[in-house]
Structures are given as C-alpha cells and as structure tokens.
Structure 1
Amino acid sequence: MLFQSTRITLRKMTVQDIEVYHKWRNDLEVMQSTAPMLDVYHIEETEEFVTQVILGSHSSKCYIIVDKESKKPIGITSLINIDNKNRNAECIIDIGDKESWGKGYGAEAMKLLLDFGFLEMNLHRIYLRVFSFNSRAIKLYEKLGFQQEGKSRESIFRNGKWHDIIHMSIMQNEYVEKIK
C-alpha cells in the first residue's frame, strides 16, 4: 500500500497532532539538526503554524509518521514548495520521538515519500537541504540516490561553529532506476 511499509504508516497531519508536534518543535535536541533557527514556541504559535502554514498550504503535503505496532506518532515528513508546473518539490523529515532514532524509520518514511512524489504525483525532481554536520542524514540521502548539488557556505551557526547547508536532489528517472 502507498502510505505504509512493514513498520510505519504515513497519515495526513491534523489539528489533533498539534500537541505532539509542539513537543517535538520545542525539543532543542530534536530540532538541532533540522531547524535553521532554534527557539522555544508557545502552544499558540505552534497552533498557528500548523493551521496556517502546514494545513493551510496548497503547495505542501504533510504526513505524520506512525509506528504501526505502538500506534504512536514518531515524526513528520513532508513535500513542501510543490511546484506543479516544473514538477519539483522540497522534502523534509523529522523523527521527533528520540526513542525511535537510529532504527531506520527515517529511511522507511523517506522511501514512502519518494514513492508518493515520483510514482503518484509524477514529480520530476525532489530536493532537500541538510546541515553539513548531520552525517547520518547525508549518508541516508546518498543511499536513497540523492546527489549533492552545492552548498550554502557557513550559513548556519551551531555549537559555536559555522556549518554549511548542503543542497541535494534526486530526479524521477534516477529514483525509478534505483528501485527496479
């Protein structure tokens, strides 16, 4: 089935997910490797962000990653900035549940998202941005077939040091060839 693997299901985000998303969004350890700006948010700010930016957008598809066995939400993955004319979209993923880190859920969720983007939406190109210090994510993206396109040099400051933002993408034909 399109939105599930052996261990996870992707389901559309709803307002009922605001509380768990708020918890992840305010966990600096979770956001350290994905959010450009670390901050602490009030629940009202998260509610507004989810309802207006995530659920109110016509150019994004946002899914909660759910562990099939426990039925527990463990993260979020999305296609954002969807450009239907040029058949491009940016993808993002966050495993917010720290107990689920390092168990391969991110790889499963990304595969489901790429299947949806390329095989159902018929996108031509899916791209992402990743911080240069996030070596585990870079390794995952390369394993899935993403290629580095360039970088924004020293554009993020974390833990007292400057880091690059790496730009990566994968084309539909490259993905389809890889899954044959």
Structure 2
Amino acid sequence: MFATDRLVLRAYNESDLDELLILWNEAGVQTGATIDHVVPRGPKWKETFRSWLDNARLHWIIQLKDTFQFVGYLTLRDENPKNRDGDLAITLKTAHWGKGYASEVLKFTVDHAFRVLNLHRVSLGVFETNDRAVNLYKKIGFVEEGRLRKANWIDGAWRNVVLMSILDEEWSARQAQQQ
C-alpha cells in the first residue's frame, strides 16, 4: 500500500470488483475511457476488470486517505517490456473529477514507474474530446506523439485518439527544475 497527501493507492481485492462495476456503469466514465460501445455492464464485466488488473504490471485502487472511500483505479501495463514502455490508464468516479486526485495519482505513479519499475517511457491514449485529461497529461509532462485519426465513434461523430508519452529523462529534468 502506498499513500499520497490525500489518497491511498493499493492492490485490488475481490470486493473492489463491485465498486469497479459501478464506476464503469457511469456513462461519463465509459464515454471517456473506452472505444467500446457505451452500454450498461452486468456482473460478468467484473471478469474483464479482474483480467485487466491481474495482467497489469502495476495497478492501484485509489481511495481517500481519511475515509477510504473508493475514488477509482489506475493500471500500468507492459505493452513493450523489451523497450521498458508502460501503457497507463486511469479512471475516476465522476463525483471525484476536478478535485486534483488524478494529478496527485499520476505524479506519484509516473515517479514510481521511473524510479522503482525502471521504465524508460510511460505512454497513454486519450480521446481528443477529453480536454481536461489532455491538459492534465500535458501539465504532468506528457508530450503528444501523434493521433489515431477518426479512431473512436462518440455521440454520432468520429473522434481522434491522442497518443502521448513521457520519457524518464524528461521526468528527471522536470523534477530537477521543481527543486
């Protein structure tokens, strides 16, 4: 278990699968987090989560430190182990958006990925319509690498997926500047 100023970051338990299903059934969450159809998910969807979390190099269940209330989850998968590239995904319940929790978790996780897991780069994909997430990733230090053009159908229109990453040397330089 790890902690930031306001959050606890821990491994998942079977009991978390219920919270994850509730989270994934928020339409706003699905719209911003999946290229799949936005539809209600039933209990079998818990198996999808179990697979995602079990096959990730790192996963956090994110909770508030003072109440242990469920906030969301983060995964870091080994998409390219030879090149030490981790693929990051984070999802928070909509009730916790705009409170700085994602920033707190991302800063801790990126630092952990480089210092402890010895990754060379952390990559992610984000929908171009998710301005808040794109701006947050840029603030953390992620750089846009390209776009998958018209790769996702959302609300009756094709949208691009923005590909972003941060390299270990970029993170180290940012840390040195902030000291």
Q: Shared topology, TM-score over 0.5?
A: yes
Q: What is the Cα deviation at residue 82 of structure 1?
A: 4.5
Partner of 2:34, secondary structure, is: coil
1:83-122 Cα distance to aligned partner (Å, 9 max, x none): 33211110010012x2211000000011111011111001
Q: Given residue 80 of structure 1, which amino acid in structure 2 is its aligned partner? A: R
User: Cα distance, 1:178 vs. partner?
Assistant: 0.6
CA deviation map 1:3-46 (0-9, x unaligned): 32111111011211000000011111222111111222211x22
The correspondence for 2:62, drawn from 51, 61, 65, is 65
Which consecutive residues of structure 2, in runs of 5 or more, have no partner in the other structure?
none
Counterparts of residues 17-166 of structure 1 (less than 5 Å): 17-37=16-36, 38-43=38-43, 45-55=44-54, 57=55, 59-96=56-93, 98-166=94-162
Q: Which residue of 2 aligns with 1:175?
A: 171
Report the identity percentage. Answer: 29
The one-letter amino acid paired with 1:94 is T
Q: Is the contact between residue 117 and residue 123 of structure 1 (CA under 8 Å) also seen in structure 2?
A: yes
Q: Counterparts of 2:95 and 2:2 in 1: how far apart (Å)?
A: 22
Matched-pair contact (CA < 8 Å) for 1:60–1:82: no
Of 5-14 and 165-174, the range deviating more from structure 2: 5-14
**What is the number of equivalent residue pairs in this alignment?**
175
TM-score by length of 1: 0.91
Contact 2:78 2:84 in 1 (8 A): no
- CA displacement at 1:54 relative to structure 2: 2.1
Tell me the C-alpha RMSD between the 2 structures.
1.4
Q: Alpha-carbon deviations, 1:144-174, whole Å to 9, x = none?
A: 1110000001111111221100000000010
Q: Whole-Å Cα distance in 1 between the matches of residues 169 and 39 of structure 2?
A: 39
Between the aligned partners of 1:21 and 1:60, the Cα distance in structure 2 is: 19
Residues 20 and 46 in structure 2, CA contact (< 8 A), matched pair in contact too:
no
1:53 and 1:134 mapped to 2: Cα distance?
22
Indicate conservation of the 8 Å contact 2:86/2:121, yes or no: yes
1:74–1:95 contact (8 Å) kept in structure 2: yes
Give me the whole-angstrom Cα distance separating, in 1, the residues matched to 2:120 and 2:52.
24
